[in-house]
């Protein structure tokens, strides 16, 4: 039997049927709470959040090598996004047994109240979760701790690693407000380097039809152009503040800082998935603040302009990791976006471009006890004298495995100047007569 609730949700999320009137509204609270519960402690305080998963995270799943994480839109309907991504995966039957899907759910206070959730559940404002802001602590629902939504996402991913010990590929994606989350999280979270370094997991982010983005410079498009950018002459003093720009950063992105965010974002693999029919300037959920209007008139235009901004800001070489995929005849519809041939291709058919497995070969050994200090380091690193006895050369490589510094004869030397490196995570690769040692350090 088709229920009114089912029809209402299909109207809201998939477009109007001709026999229904279509009011413009956003649900005040979600209908369905995700069945799985992420619980962890921070500073001795219990924290809970909700998610869906094709595989319970309480047990190991040896056969899972691929993970897709999909983030819901403004209405926080994680169940719809979860089902729609499962439908997309079903179109690639050969990958079903090796792929897991996780859909986190970021709650608001109205969700907490409506469903009577316990006090350990964290919640955000309706815009805050999209931007990585701290969870809320209101007198109506007091909490002993506030935590960024991005930090909860980091924790969920690290928890998933325990269940998927053979994971090799992560696809992180979101549509609409979830696309906003994906854009900002990809720019400000260290998780992608951590996955690569600690577990050899390659990743890419797919940003689908967001209404706003975080810009990497204070320039915005000029007039009606899609390719010209300049400092805007507008009465909008906060136009370049987080999460629309890199000024006045929130707590979570402040940990990295603006320069690190730019370096991370320009080097990570990102696909901008744009529906060509997502071009309604009067769409009910389209952000229209003065900040948002500097991006363009509708989502499709904003996506094209943002991609051009990224190329102009970082140069043509950024196209080696950032790409734009436009889908004809599809509007603001996550099911159709992900289940299109273009969507299926970037989700399941194309592996991440940067393989973490190529950084360390099978002949190389990672030494967790190699004494590199200080770590993190700002100007110089030192290696314990006992480890230098048979070392011949030493190289510093970035996260993609590209050599940044090459030290020749090192016997008798235990101090190495790294001041010219940008902030980030690096490999140190040491050649001795018998072995090649690999370890890592952080440049601040």
Residue 9 has what pLDDT?
42
Q: What is the CATH number of domain 364-443?
A: 2.60.40.1930
Please give the backbone phi and psi of residue 373, each rounded to the nearest 5 degrees, phi first. Answer: -150, 150
pLDDT in tens, the chain (444 residues): 333 343 344 333 333 333 333 333 445 889 999 999 999 998 899 999 999 999 999 999 999 999 999 999 999 999 999 999 999 999 999 999 999 999 999 999 999 999 999 999 999 999 999 999 999 999 999 999 999 999 999 999 999 999 999 999 999 999 999 999 999 999 999 999 888 877 889 999 999 999 999 999 999 999 999 999 999 999 999 999 999 999 999 999 999 999 999 999 999 999 999 999 999 999 999 999 999 999 999 999 999 999 999 999 999 999 999 999 999 999 999 999 999 999 999 999 999 987 675 444 444 555 545 677 787 788 888 876 555 556 677 888 876 567 888 887 656 677 889 998 887 778 788 776 666 677 777 787
CB 198 within 8 A of CB 166: no
Domain ranges of the chain: 28-358, 364-443
DSSP 8-state code for residue 108: B
Topology match between the domains 28-358 and 364-443: no
Task: List C-alpha distances in Å: 245 to 104, 238, 325, 351, 414.
Answer: 25, 9, 24, 30, 42
Residue 320 has what pLDDT?
92
Token pair belonging to 155: 């924790």
Residue 355 has what pLDDT?
65
Which CATH superfamily does the domain covering 28-358 fall into?
Answer: Alpha/Beta hydrolase fold, catalytic domain (3.40.50.1820)
Report yes or no on whether pTM surpasses 0.75. yes
Residue 304 has what pLDDT?
98
Largest CA distance in the chain: 82
Distance CA 141, CA 124 (A): 11
Residue 376 has what pLDDT?
79
Residue 395 has what pLDDT?
85
Residue 401 has what pLDDT?
64
CB 148 within 8 A of CB 251: yes
N residues, the chain: 444
């Amino acid at each position: 039997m088709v229920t009114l609730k089912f029809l209402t949700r299909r109207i809201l999320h998939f477009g109007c049927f001709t026999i229904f009137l279509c009011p413009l509204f956003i649900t005040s609270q979600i209908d369905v709470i995700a069945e799985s519960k992420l619980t962890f402690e921070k500073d001795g305080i219990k924290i809970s959040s909700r998610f869906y998963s094709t595989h319970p995270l309480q047990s190991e799943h040896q056969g899972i090598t691929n993970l897709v994480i999909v983030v819901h839109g403004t209405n926080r309907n994680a169940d719809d996004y979860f089902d729609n991504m499962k439908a997309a995966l079903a179109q690639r039957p050969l990958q079903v047994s090796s792929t897991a899907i996780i859909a986190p759910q970021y709650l608001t206070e109205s969700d907490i109240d409506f469903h009577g959730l316990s006090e350990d559940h964290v919640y955000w404002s309706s815009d805050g979760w999209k931007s990585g802001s701290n969870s809320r602590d209101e007198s109506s629902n007091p909490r002993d701790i506030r935590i960024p939504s991005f930090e909860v996402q980091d924790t969920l991913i690290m928890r998933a690693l325990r269940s998927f010990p053979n994971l090799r590929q992560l696809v992180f994606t979101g549509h609409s407000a979830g696309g906003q989350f994906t854009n900002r999280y990809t720019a400000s979270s260290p998780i992608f380097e951590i996955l690569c370094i600690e577990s050899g997991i390659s990743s890419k982010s797919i940003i689908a039809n967001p209404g706003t983005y975080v810009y990497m410079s204070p320039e915005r498009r000029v007039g009606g152009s899609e390719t010209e950018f300049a400092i805007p002459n507008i009465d909008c003093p906060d136009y370049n503040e987080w999460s629309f720009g890199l000024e006045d950063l929130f707590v979570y992105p402040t940990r990295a800082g603006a320069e690190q965010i730019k370096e991370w974002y320009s080097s990570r693999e990102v696909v901008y998935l744009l529906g060509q029919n997502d071009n309604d300037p009067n769409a009910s959920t389209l952000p229209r603040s003065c900040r948002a209007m500097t991006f363009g008139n509708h989502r499709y235009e904003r996506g094209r302009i943002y991609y051009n901004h990224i190329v102009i800001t970082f140069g043509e070489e950024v196209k080696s990791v950032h790409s734009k995929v436009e889908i004809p005849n599809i509007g603001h519809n996550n099911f159709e976006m992900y289940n299109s041939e273009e969507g299926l291709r970037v989700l399941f058919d194309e592996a991440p471009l940067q393989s973490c497995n190529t950084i360390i070969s099978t002949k190389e050994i990672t030494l967790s006890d190699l004494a590199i200090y200080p770590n993190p380091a700002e100007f110089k690193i030192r290696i314990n004298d006992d480890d230098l006895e048979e070392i011949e050369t030493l190289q510093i490589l970035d996260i993609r495995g590209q050599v940044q510094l090459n030290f020749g004869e090192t016997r008798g030397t235990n101090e190495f100047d790294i001041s010219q490196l940008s902030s980030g995570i690096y490999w140190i690769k040491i050649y001795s007569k018998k072995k090649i040692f690999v370890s890592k350090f952080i440049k601040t």
